[in-house]
Amino acid sequence: MNARIVELDVLRYDPETDSEPHFQRYTVPCAEEWVVLDALNAVKESIDPTLNYRWSCHMAVCGSCGMMINGEPKLSCHAFLRDYAGVSRVEPLANFPIERDLITVADDFIDKLKRVKPYLIPARNEAVPDGEYKQTPAQLMKYRQFSMCINCMLCYAACPEYALQPMFLGPAAIALAHRYNLDSRDGGRDERQEVIASHAGVWECSFVGACSEVCPKAVDPAAALQQVKVASTIDWFKEHLLPGARK
Partner 1 sequence: MSRKPYIREVSKTGWYFKQPRYLRYMSREVTCIFIGAFALLLLCALGRLADGPASYDAFLASLQGPWAIFGLLAVLIFAVHNATSWFNVTPKAMPVQIGEEFLPGKFVVVAHYAVWIIVSLTVLFLAGVF
Binding site for partner 1 (CB under 8 A): 13, 15-16, 18, 20-21, 71-72, 94-95, 97-99, 105, 137-138, 141-142, 160, 163-164, 206-210, 212-213, 220, 222-223, 226-227, 229-230
Instruction: Tell the smallest beta-carbon distance from residue 18 to partner 1 (Å).
Output: 8
Q: Which is nearer to partner 1, 138 or 242 (CB)?
A: 138
Q: Which is nearer to partner 1, 193 or 227 (CB)?
A: 227
Instruction: Tell the smallest beta-carbon distance from residue 137 to partner 1 (Å).
Output: 5
Instruction: Tell the smallest beta-carbon distance from residue 15 to partner 1 (Å).
Output: 4
Instruction: Tell the smallest beta-carbon distance from residue 241 to partner 1 (Å).
Output: 21
Q: Which is nearer to partner 1, 98 or 113 (CB)?
A: 98
Instruction: Tell the smallest beta-carbon distance from residue 190 to partner 1 (Å).
Output: 22
Backbone angles phi, psi at 30, to 5 degrees: -125, 150
Q: Which is nearer to partner 1, 123 or 223 (CB)?
A: 223
Instruction: Tell the smallest beta-carbon distance from residue 202 to partner 1 (Å).
Output: 12
Check residue 62 and report its DSSP letter. S
Tell me the residue type at 101: D
Q: Which is nearer to partner 1, 94 or 150 (CB)?
A: 94
Task: Write the CA distances from 214 to 1, 40, 180, 237, integer angstroms.
Answer: 31, 21, 22, 34
Q: Which is nearer to partner 1, 29 or 160 (CB)?
A: 160
Q: Which of 176, 177, 183 is nearest to 217 (CA)?
A: 176
Q: Which of 154, 188, 198, 195 is nearest to 66 (CA)?
A: 154
Backbone angles phi, psi at 130, to 5 degrees: -75, -5
Q: How far apart are CA 89 and CA 68, in angstroms?
A: 8
